């Protein structure tokens, strides 16, 4: 079996104390008032809709079954990013964060939060992130991809110059920014014509989010703010597999990024990836070999994925016990100062 400095090895049976001690950080909720506004939730079966609404005993019971000690909760896609009206997005983000904080207060040892941010207005987003971190005790932010601003057919990505002051705030607060997927806009789905179902979580999520991440890298953002920490789900949205070729082709003249260093440098130094919804040992092995086990974090993608299925896969995946401990808990403890 392949082996690296991060010890991708065939494993023994996981240590028993690890099984019920995981930290997960791509675990979703939605407010009842907005449940039908989310395409991610609209067509779910009734029992899954109930799970995403539940921030109480039902969720805690599922965490116990899945061996989860702590979950960091976040608003499901597309969230406020799909509200083109700026004032409405700002107000909805604040209501969402207050609602989440109220529910976390009922189970503070088990539940934590990621801020919902109205990035339609970068200054308002920076102010809301500061409030959520300093006043509400949130762990950072999770943002569902590009924001629609003014026009429902618009798409604003966060490498754009107007977002630089926002990123300065993220670095100053020293909290992670989770870049979560969303569907491409309907007017930009021509390549999915006849196969619209591919535009979502089966494929389009990874394409949309990996391109957004590459834009951040290529823009020089991490040269300007080298301490930024960005998290990607689903084992990195395919970037660990393709990053060598991206750098190789750029080095041969196929591109002119503003960034000073190869894309792979930023992937290894400024990004973390989670196991959310991608329970495949071969893919996990590739991620560990490419970016290192210290940059991988456990997650489920609840309630879209089953916490017990995730647990059974991860607890028996062929990785070293030291890497299993890092990914299950220790990396998150270090990143979030738990």
Which residues does the annotation mark as catalytic? 301
Residue 277 CA from chain centroid, whole number: 11
Q: How many CB atoms lie within 10 A of CB 15?
A: 12
Angle at the Cα of 307 from the Cα atoms of 314 and 35, rounded to 5 degrees: 140
Query: If you write DSSP's letter for every residue of 43-73 in order, what string do you get?
Result: TS-HHHHHHHH--SHHHHHHHHHTTEEEEEE
Q: How many Å from the N-terminal Cα to the C-terminal Cα in the chain? A: 34
**Strand, helix or coil for residue 100:** helix
| Residue whose entry in the numeric block shows the structure tokens 């395919």 | 238
- Whether omega for the bond prior to residue 78 falls within 30 degrees of 0, making it cis, is yes
| Residue whose entry in the numeric block shows the structure tokens 């909290």 | 175
* Residue 156 DSSP symbol: B
| Residue whose entry in the numeric block shows the structure tokens 């762990």 | 139
Q: Which of 152, 271, 264 is nearest to 209 (CA)?
A: 271
Cβ neighbours of residue 295 under 8 Å, at least 6 residues apart? 268, 271, 272, 273, 331
The answer to whether 243 and 265 are in contact (CB under 8 A) is no
């Amino acid at each position: 079996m392949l082996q690296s400095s991060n010890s991708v090895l065939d494993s023994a049976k996981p240590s028993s104390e690890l099984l019920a001690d995981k930290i997960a950080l791509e675990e979703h909720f939605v407010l009842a008032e907005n449940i039908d506004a989310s395409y991610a939730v609209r067509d779910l079966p009734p029992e899954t809709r109930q799970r995403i609404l539940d921030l109480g005993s039902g969720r805690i019971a599922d965490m116990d079954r899945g061996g989860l000690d702590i979950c960091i909760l976040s608003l499901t896609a597309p969230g406020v990013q799909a509200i083109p009206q700026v004032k409405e997005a700002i107000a909805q983000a604040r209501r969402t964060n207050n609602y989440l904080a109220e529910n976390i207060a009922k189970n503070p040892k088990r539940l934590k939060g990621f801020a919902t941010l109205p990035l339609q207005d970068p200054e308002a987003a920076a102010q809301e992130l500061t409030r959520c971190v300093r006043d509400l005790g949130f762990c950072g932010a999770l943002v569902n991809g590009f924001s629609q601003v003014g026009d429902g057919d618009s798409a604003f990505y966060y490498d754009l110059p107007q977002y630089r002051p926002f990123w300065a705030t993220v670095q100053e607060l020293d909290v992670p920014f989770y870049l979560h997927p969303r569907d491409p806009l309907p007017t930009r789905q021509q390549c999915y014509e006849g196969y619209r179902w591919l535009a979502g979580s089966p494929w389009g999520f990874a394409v949309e989010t990996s391109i957004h991440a590459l834009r951040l890298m290529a823009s020089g953002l991490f040269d300007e703010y080298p301490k930024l920490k960005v998290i990607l789900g689903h084992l990195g949205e395919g970037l660990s597999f393709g990053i060598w070729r991206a750098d190789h082709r750029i080095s041969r003249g196929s591109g002119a990024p503003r960034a000073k260093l190869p894309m792979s440098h930023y992937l290894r130094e400024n990004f973390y990836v989670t196991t959310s919804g991608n329970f495949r040992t071969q893919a996990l092995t590739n991620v560990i070999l490419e970016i290192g086990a210290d940059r991988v974090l456990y997650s489920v993608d609840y309630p879209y994925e089953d916490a017990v299925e995730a647990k059974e896969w991860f607890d028996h995946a062929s990785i070293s016990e030291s890497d299993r401990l890092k990914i299950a808990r220790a990396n998150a403890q270090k990143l979030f100062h738990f």
